[in-house]
C-alpha cells in the first residue's frame, strides 16, 4: 500500500516532492521518484508485500498503490523470481502490454505507468484504491486530493473505477477497461448460499495478512470475517453505553474470540480531538460522512498503535446483498437497479472515505466483500434472495449460517454511526460549543481551525 503522485512540466520534480510530503502518512517506510525530462512520478511506500523500491524503472517506469493477490501465479507464468507484486505488475505490462495485463489482475490497485513521454493511469474496477488528477496548465495526479490542493490545483477530477486514462503531449484520452460480468441467474437459495460461502471464504483468505486487524462491530458482515480469521485482532469502538459496546463483546464471546477483542469506549474529549483530523483526512464536513468515518478512524488508529498494517472491513455487503432499510419498499426489479447503482457509486460514496481514514493512520484497508468474483456472483443472485420475506441480506445470512451462530446470523444491526453512539455524541459536542443543532456549522469551523490548531483539543473539551 502506498501513495503515488506525478506531474508534467518544468517544475515537475519539485511539485511531486511537495505532493509526496503531503502523502507521507500513506507510506512512512520509503519514498522515491523517477524523472525523464519534464515528467516526474513518485511514490511513498507502506511495506506489506515484498521489498521492492518504487518507482520501478528501466527507462519505462511504474508507481503503484494496492495489492495484486494473484501476483505469485503471474510471476510463475512470467518465469520471474520475486516476492513483490509491484515488480510482477511491471514485468507483466512490459511483456503483454497495458490492456492485456489489466485483464489478468486480481486485486485492488491504482497505478501510473510511464513510457516514452506518455503517462497512463489505471484504477481497479470497483475503485477500492483512489486516484485523482488535474489538467490545464499542469497535468498532475495523486492518491489524495489534498496533495493536488497543496500544489495550487483546485479543479480536481477523479479517475473512474475500471478506467484507464492516458496523458501525452497535452492530450488526454480515457476509456473503460475492466468491468463486472453478470452470470446466469441464480434462484435456488441452497445453491446460491453455498456458492457465496465458498466465494467469500476464498476472498477473505487471500486478503488475510498476518498480523491482521478487523474493524469489528459484532454485526453479520464483520462477524463473518472474524469467524473466517480466528487469528485476527478485532477492533471495536463506541461511546460509553452504546449498542456497539454491548454487541461487540457479546458477538466476540459467541465466536470464542474474546481474547482477540480490542474494545475501546471513546470519551467526548477523544472524539472532539479526532473530529478535525477526520475532516482533514476525508476532506468533507458532511455530518453523516464524518460520523461514519470516525469508528473506522479509531479502529485503524488503535490497530496502528499495536503495530498492525492491514485492517479488513465489511464494506460492500449492504450494497451487494440489500442491507439498507431504504431497499425495503422496492419491488424486485427496482431493487436490482438500486443495488447496481449503489455498487457503481460505492467508490465515491464510501471507498474513497474509508481509504483516506485508514491510511491517515498508515493502515491498509482490505474489503473482501468487494472481490471481483464475489461481486459477479452477487450480481447473478436473484434479488428475491437478497430481501426475502422482509429479511434483508437473506442470502448472505444463509451463507453465514455455515459458520456463525444463529443469533449473529439473523440479528439486525443499526448503522455504525448510530449504534456506536458517535453521531449523537457529535451533536452533544456541537451544542456544548454553542452551535445548537447546527452540527454542520460546527464541523465547518473545525475544518477552518485545523491548520492553526493541530495540537489542541477543540473548544470546551
Average pLDDT of the chain to the nearest whole number: 93
**CA angle 151–355–400, rounded 5-degree value:** 170
**How many helical (H) and strand (E) elements, i.e. helices and strands, does the chain have?**
20, 19
Across residues 334-351, what is the average pLDDT?
97
Is position 229 annotated as part of the catalytic site?
no
pLDDT tens digits, 247-265: 999 999 999 999 999 999 9
Query: 134: closest CA among 215, 284, 15, 269?
Result: 15
Q: What is the DSSP string of 116-152?
A: TTEEEEEE-SS--S--EEE-SSSEEEESSHHHHHTTT
Q: In percent, how much of the chain has pLDDT > 70?
A: 96
Rounded to 10°, the helix 287-305/422-432 angle is: 110
Half-sphere exposure of 149 (CA within 13 A, CB side): 7
Which residue ranges form the domains of the chain, and what is each CATH number?
A: 2-176 (3.60.20.10), 189-425 (3.40.50.620)
| Measured distance CA(362)–CA(64) in Å, rounded | 16
Q: Among residues 2, 196, 379, 395, which one is catalytic?
A: 2
Residue bearing the bigger pLDDT, 424 or 136: 424
Indicate the helix (H) or strand (E) that contains 164: strand 163-168
Residue that wins the pLDDT comparison between 54 and 450: 54
Cβ-based burial of 292 (10 A; exposed 0-12, middle 13-18, buried ≥19)? buried
**For residue range 356-379, what is the model confidence (pLDDT) as tens digits?**
999 999 999 999 999 999 999 999
Q: Rounded mean pLDDT of 29-37? A: 94
pLDDT band at 53, cuts 50/70/90?
A: confident
Reported as a pLDDT band with limits 50, 70 and 90, residue 154 is confident
Spatial separation of the C-alpha atoms in residues 131 and 148, rounded to whole Å: 11
Query: Each residue of 61-73: pLDDT tens digit?
Result: 999 999 999 999 9
Residue 188 scores a pLDDT above 70: yes
Residue pair 66/129 in contact by the 8 Å Cβ criterion: yes
In the block, residue with C-alpha cell 498532475: 140
| 291 or 447, higher pLDDT | 291
Peptide bond into 55 cis (omega under 30): yes
Report residue 379 CA to chain centroid gap: 21
Q: What is the pLDDT of residues 377-413, one digit of tens each?
A: 999 999 999 999 999 999 999 999 999 999 999 987 6
Report helix, strand or coil for 287: helix
With 0.85 as the threshold, say if the pTM is over it. yes
Residue 240's pLDDT is 86
Cis peptide, bond prior to residue 392, ω within 30 of zero:
no
Is the pLDDT at 454 greater than 60? The verdict is no
CB atoms within 10 A of CB 218: 29
Average pLDDT over residues 179-197: 95
Amino acid at each position: 500500500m502506498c501513495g503515488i503522485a506525478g506531474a508534467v512540466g518544468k517544475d515537475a520534480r519539485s511539485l511531486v516532492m511537495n505532493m509526496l510530503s503531503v502523502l507521507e502518512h500513506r507510506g512512512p517506510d520509503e519514498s522515491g521518484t523517477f524523472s525523464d525530462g519534464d515528467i516526474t512520478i513518485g511514490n511513498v511506500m507502506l511495506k506489506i508485500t515484498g521489498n521492492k523500491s518504487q518507482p520501478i524503472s528501466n527507462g519505462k517506469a511504474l508507481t503503484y498503490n494496492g495489492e495484486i493477490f494473484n501476483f505469485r501465479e503471474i510471476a510463475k507464468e512470467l518465469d520471474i523470481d520475486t516476492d513483490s507484486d509491484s515488480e510482477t505488475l511491471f514485468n507483466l505490462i512490459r511483456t503483454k502490454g497495458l490492456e492485456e495485463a489489466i485483464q489478468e489482475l486480481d486485486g485492488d490497485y491504482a497505478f501510473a505507468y510511464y513510457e516514452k513521454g506518455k503517462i497512463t493511469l489505471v484504477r481497479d474496477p470497483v475503485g477500492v484504491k483512489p486516484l485523482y488528477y488535474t489538467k490545464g496548465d499542469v497535468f498532475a495526479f495523486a492518491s489524495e486530493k489534498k496533495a493536488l490542493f497543496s500544489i495550487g490545483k483546485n479543479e480536481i477530477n477523479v479517475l473512474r473505477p475500471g478506467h484507464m486514462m492516458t496523458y501525452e503531449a497535452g492530450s488526454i484520452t480515457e476509456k473503460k477497461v475492466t468491468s463486472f460480468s453478470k452470470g446466469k441467474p441464480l434462484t435456488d437459495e441452497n445453491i446460491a448460499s453455498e456458492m457465496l460461502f465458498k466465494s467469500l471464504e476464498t476472498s477473505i483468505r487471500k486478503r488475510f495478512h498476518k498480523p491482521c486487524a478487523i474493524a469489528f462491530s459484532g454485526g453479520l458482515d464483520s462477524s463473518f470475517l472474524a469467524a473466517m480469521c480466528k487469528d485476527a485482532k478485532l477492533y471495536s469502538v463506541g461511546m460509553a453505553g452504546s449498542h456497539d459496546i454491548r454487541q461487540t463483546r457479546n458477538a466476540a464471546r459467541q465466536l470464542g474470540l474474546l481474547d482477540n477483542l480490542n474494545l475501546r469506549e471513546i470519551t467526548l474529549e477523544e472524539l472532539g480531538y479526532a473530529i478535525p483530523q477526520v475532516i482533514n483526512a476525508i476532506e468533507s464536513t458532511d455530518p453523516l460522512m464524518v460520523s461514519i468515518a470516525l469508528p473506522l478512524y479509531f479502529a485503524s488508529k488503535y490497530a496502528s498503535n499495536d503495530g498492525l498494517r492491514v485492517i479488513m472491513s465489511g464494506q460492500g455487503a449492504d450494497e451487494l446483498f440489500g442491507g439498507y432499510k431504504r431497499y425495503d419498499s422496492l419491488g424486485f426489479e427496482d431493487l436490482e437497479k438500486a443495488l447496481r447503482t449503489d455498487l457503481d457509486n460505492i467508490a465515491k460514496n464510501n471507498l474513497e472515505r474509508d481509504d483516506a481514514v485508514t491510511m491517515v493512520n498508515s493502515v491498509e484497508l482490505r474489503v473482501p466483500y468487494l472481490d471481483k468474483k464475489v461481486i459477479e456472483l452477487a450480481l447473478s443472485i436473484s434479488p428475491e434472495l437478497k430481501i426475502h420475506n422482509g429479511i434483508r441480506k437473506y442470502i448472505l445470512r444463509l451463507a453465514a449460517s455455515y459458520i456463525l451462530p444463529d443469533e449473529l446470523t439473523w440479528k439486525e444491526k443499526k448503522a455504525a454511526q448510530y449504534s456506536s453512539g458517535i453521531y449523537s455524541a457529535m451533536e452533544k459536542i456541537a451544542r456544548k460549543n454553542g452551535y445548537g443543532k447546527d452540527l454542520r456549522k460546527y464541523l465547518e469551523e473545525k475544518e477552518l481551525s485545523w491548520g492553526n490548531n493541530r495540537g489542541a483539543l477543540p473548544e470546551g473539551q
